[in-house]
Amino acid sequence: MITADFAILPVGCDSTECKDYVTAAVQVIKNSGLNYQLTGMGTQIEAENLKELYDAISKAQEAVFEIGVGRVYTIIKIDDRRDRENRTLNAKIETIEKLLD
């Protein structure tokens, strides 16, 4: 399982408000069928392979362009762990929560 955290930032828009851009990008991820978690600083997704991951992020980036912004800056962090099975986003969280006092 590949997990990723990404953020797509519009550049050169007229306002500091980003909710329309974020909504457009997250709607694409939601429509992709991939498991995802929206956070206050980005979106985390799970994919079976890199093609699936990059395809979803690419489409999300295009959705931001379609709103009318001329430039975006996309940050992607990927954890492609192949030595263990089913390392989902929730499994990673559960591992740490078990270790906390």
pLDDT in the model for residue 91: 87
* Average pLDDT over all residues of the chain: 93
Residues 6+ apart with CB under 8 A from 62: 28
Q: Checking DSSP bridges between strand 36-39 and strand 71-80, what pairing results, if any? A: unpaired
pLDDT in tens, 15-26: 888 899 999 999
pLDDT in the model for residue 86: 75
Could you tell me the fold of the domain covering 2-99?
A: Alpha-Beta Plaits (3.30.70)
Other CB atoms within 10 A of residue 89 CB: 18
pLDDT in tens, 73-91: 999 999 998 888 878 888 8
- Between 101 and 40, the higher pLDDT residue: 40
pLDDT in the model for residue 13: 86
Domain ranges for the chain, please list them: 2-99
Q: What pTM was computed for the model? A: 0.88
